[in-house]
Amino acid sequence: MNEPIKKIAVLTSGGDAPGMNAAIRAVVRACTYYRIECVGVYRGYQGLIEGDIEPLTARDVSNIINKGGTILKSARSMEFKTKEGRAKAYENLKKHGVGALVLIGGDGTFTGGLKFIEEFNFPLVGIPGTIDNDIYGTDNTIGYDTALNTVVEVIDKIRDTASSHNRLFFIEVMGRDAGFIALNTGIGAGAEEILIPEKNLGLDRLVESLKTSKETGKTSSIVVVSEGDKIGKNVFELADYINEHFPHYDIRVSVLGHMQRGGSPSCYDRVLASRLGVAAVEALLDRSTGVMIGITNNEVSMVGLDKAIKMNHDINKELLKVAEITSV
């Protein structure tokens, strides 16, 4: 594949994240700027297999920078996990004269991309788009900042009712394998305890902590639980368990769910997405492939897709300490 790239395709795959539209817009406009064609693939890898591919011009992406979700729609394609599915996808790219691909998504998306390179040596780069922030090689993923702000806003509201009724609230936030949302929103919203998959504090510690807060005069409390937490109980079982130990507590559970993925992206996410979109096109034009474009220490950076999905984006120990100290 040494001919010049004349057409780039962009797709969004996996869970949508606020800011994906800003990234699509940046990719399309960078293509216009560098005088190459751009096409959008609808419904991620599934659309690639089914040939759901349409041209995108700079004007087609007007008025989307502020919109949540993804105009290209997203899917988790089972068919792309098969060799036959990937072969169909490759044929469609060739049919449309596409020379390179920009993938916007998370680890599942990048795993598919790596397989595609292995089989067809097709040039592609990734842009990290997921609210979970569980990708190595970038300080933040697109959508994470917006999700944090959404969650904090909701927990603030729950705090009002928790304190009015002297209640203990268990609030489950997203993050299948990572506790970044829980830890940061827990600190930002002043949670009593934060349960994350990376650090299993155990049930005893939770019981002790709630006992201490009662003794030190707290009348209401908020416990933020990451959905991927490894304590061995889901948030409802956890609430029941605590209720057995503290029958006098008036306990409620709130599962925030998919509302965390929606909404207008924050300014941070819009800027991040714009930078990554431009850098992705530039990287492809420079013949980079198999890499993810990220931001590290406020500079555009690149990391191999294999590292992005396999290496851990460590939880910040200082944050754990801050959470502990500020909840006394």
Q: If you search the block for the tokens 């909701």, which residue do you land on?
A: 154
- Provide the minimum distance between the beta carbon of 11 and ligand F6P in the complex, in angstroms, as a whole number: 16
Backbone φ and ψ for 171, nearest 5 degrees, come out as -120, 115
Closest contact distance (angstroms) between CB of 214 and ligand F6P is 32
Q: 74 vs 92, which CB is nearer to ligand F6P?
A: 74
Residues that bind ligand F6P (CB under 6 A): 15, 106, 130-132, 174-176, 227, 261
Is 177 marked active-site?
A: no
Smallest gap, in angstroms, from Cβ of residue 107 to ligand F6P? Answer: 8
Least distance CB 217 / ligand F6P (angstroms): 35
Which residue is catalytic, options 16, 60, 107, 132? 132
What are the catalytic residues? 132
